[in-house]
Amino acid sequence: MSVADKITEEIADLEAESTSPGMAAVALDLAKAMDSTDVPGAKAQAAHQLRAIMADLRKLAPVKVKGDAVDDIAEQRKKRRESAREQAAGG
């Protein structure tokens, strides 16, 4: 998998095209430049710039809420309460 492919996936995951479309485009261009050259100095410079832009994109990415154990317990409790209310109302 090429650098451009991996950066494209990360940009999509970060939703960077909607939050920072210009920076996302520059990041993809830098990744393509890295893929298209065999000159070590050029590759290193592009990698350095790409790293900085991707760090900024990660900071600007919207926070994704992921469930944790507390959320799972709260959801189970909610389901038990709803079930108990249904049983009490019906019987």
Cα–Cα distance, 42 to 50 (Å, whole number): 12
- For residue 42, give Cα distances in angstroms to 15, 30, 35, 65: 28, 10, 11, 38
Higher pLDDT pick, 36 / 71: 36
| Segments in the chain forming alpha helices (H) | 3-14, 16-19, 21-36, 40-60, 69-90
Cα–Cα distance, 1 to 9 (Å, whole number): 11
| Residue in the block written with tokens 């592009």 | 46
pLDDT of residue 67: 67
The predicted-structure confidence for 9-57, as pLDDT tens digits, reads as follows 999 999 999 999 999 999 999 999 999 999 999 999 999 999 999 999 9
Is 80 part of any domain? no
pTM of the model: 0.68
Is 87 part of any domain? no
Range of the domain at 46: 3-64
Is 49 part of any domain? yes
The count of domains in the chain is: 1
